Amino acid sequence: MRFPLIVALLFYAAAAGAQTYPAGPVRIIVPASPGGNIDVTARVLAPGMSEFLKQPVVVENRPGSGGMIGTDVALKAAPDGYTILMGSSSTFTVGPNVYKNWPIDPVKGLTPIMNVQYVPFALVVNAQSPDKSVHDLIKRAKEKPGTVSQANGGTGTSNHLVSELFQMLTGTQFILVPYQGGAPAMTSVIGGQTESYFDQASTSVAPAQAGRIRVLAVTSKTRWTPLPNVPTFGELGIQDFEVNGITGLAGPAGLPRPVVQRLNEAATRALQDPKVKERMNTMGAVIVGSSPEEFDRFIREDLARWSKVVKATGASTQ
């Protein structure tokens, strides 16, 4: 009889704690440097979440090791809701597939809170490139396999795996050139050192408007608002290539359900603020604002997708 009693007491203690949550500051760990998409998303949401929760919501950057350092800190914290993670596709589904020493189980090691927003990828080439369309690039790559270059932000990054999936779907073979981040990869295309690149679409807008690159297509299901004249891959007949870089909130495994709901409600309320919507639109982000269950389903499906790509291509970092 003692075991059921202990379980019941623990349950009521957790429920009582959740009812008074939060009683102090909430820390959002960003496993990336300041200024990027994940960091900006966290800082845009934090004030609205703070207002709803009646406690400070503080953003803390913990970059390094492909996101592993910040992820380790956030998801191995006490499951009390006072330390949570603002992660990305690299954090939730790509990293666990390409790094054998990823610090947490991508399903059992976390508690999904919300898929906040997504940004599609954009296939870009230099503005002077002979490739006027995706089909031009595919044709040239097939005529001379292994001679056309494609940059990425580093082996095992999201845009690296997007390149691998693109090759699988189109029967092409590019020279994949890894750089230390997205900015130098884009610089290589602008400077003509590489010929193409799957960039996060939000950072393609400025160089495209400046006439430095040409955007051939985006990976979203429908046309992307900041680049309305750019077709989707689906429109071009390339199916099963709807790939978006997401940004979402998660906590450690075992986070009490009432705390998850309160954090989800806080983020939902923040996303309803017209100023937040405007800032997200400026970033080129599409607001999702999912339930915890929807985010859990997305993580599982995306993990399976990238697992297939990694197994088929050997795109592991180790």
| Residue 42's CATH number | 3.40.190.150
| DSSP code at position 34 | T
Q: In this structure, are residues 185 and 197 in contact, taking their beta carbons and an 8 Å threshold?
A: yes
Residue 228 covered by a domain? no
pTM, full prediction: 0.84
Provide the pLDDT confidence category of residue 158 given band limits of 50, 70 and 90.
Answer: confident
Listed residues 177, 203, 218: the one ending a domain: 218
Read off the pLDDT of residues 167-203 as tens digits, 9 standing for 90 and up: 999 999 999 999 888 888 999 999 999 999 999 888 8
Q: What are phi and psi of 124, to 5 degrees?
A: -120, 155
Residue 144 covered by a domain? yes
Q: What is the pLDDT of residue 1?
A: 44
Max CA-CA distance within the chain? 77
Residue 3 covered by a domain? no
Q: In this structure, are residues 236 and 214 in contact, taking their beta carbons and an 8 Å threshold?
A: no
Q: What is the pLDDT of residue 314?
A: 79
**Separation of first and last alpha carbons in the chain:** 50
Q: Please give the tally of structural domains in the chain.
A: 2
Provide the pLDDT confidence category of residue 10 given band limits of 50, 70 and 90.
Answer: low
State whether residue 196 is helix, strand or coil. Answer: strand
Read off the pLDDT of residues 120-140 as tens digits, 9 standing for 90 and up: 999 999 999 999 999 999 999
| Residue 195's CATH number | 3.40.190.10
The residue segments making up the domain with residue 101 are 23-116+245-313
Percent of the chain at pLDDT above 70?
93
The residue written with tokens 């799957």 in the block is 198
Q: What is the pLDDT of residue 33?
A: 82
